[in-house]
Amino acid sequence: MSAGWGRVMRTGVNASYGPRARSLGEWLVLRLLTWRLVAWIAVPEHRDQADFVHYFYVAGWRLAHGLSPYDFVSQWGDSIYNPPWFALLLVPFSFLSVETASLCWLVLSLGLLAVSVTLAQRLCNLRLSRLP
């Protein structure tokens, strides 16, 4: 086994590439993921968020109006299967129009995704390198 291979095995990164190549790789991955997210949101079917509109919004609306969130059947023949506390979180969205609530849900979901990635980055003690 050569000395260079041992460094790859211990660190997971080939030390001979240097910090510039590593930071360029990190930024490339970040840009590709951002591009993919924007491309995904650009498709109208993804923006409509059928699961929110047909299940979550309806469950929150029903609970806000004193009905059971579990007593409805969607056009596909199924219902919501989430726990009752989740329906309580959906009640504030039921006071908005479907379009506005769907947009708020998307923004909330993306915000929570960003917070999750940041927390995972801190827990794993990872840093996104700056481009030199």
The DSSP symbol for 17 reads G
The CA radius of gyration of the chain, in Å to the nearest whole number, is 22
Mean pLDDT over the full length of the chain: 76
Type of residue numbered 102: S
Residue 90 CA, chain-centre distance (Å), reads 18
Question: Can you state the percent helix, strand and coil of the chain, rounding each to 5?
Answer: 70, 0, 30
pLDDT at 95 over 90: yes
**In terms of domains, do 53 and 110 share one?**
yes
Percent of the chain with pLDDT over 90: 8
Mean pLDDT of 96-113: 88
Span 4-49, pLDDT tens digits: 444 444 555 555 566 666 677 777 877 887 888 777 777 776 666 7
Question: Same structural domain for residues 116 and 65?
Answer: yes
Which two structure tokens, joined as six digits, stand for 72?
Answer: 């409805």
Please indicate, yes or no, whether residues 30 and 80 belong to a single structural domain of this protein: no
Here the tokens at position 2 are 């050569």
Residue 128, pLDDT > 50, answer: yes
pTM confidence score: 0.61
**Is 84 in the same domain as 98?**
yes
Q: What DSSP state is assigned to residue 95? A: G
Count of domains for the chain: 2
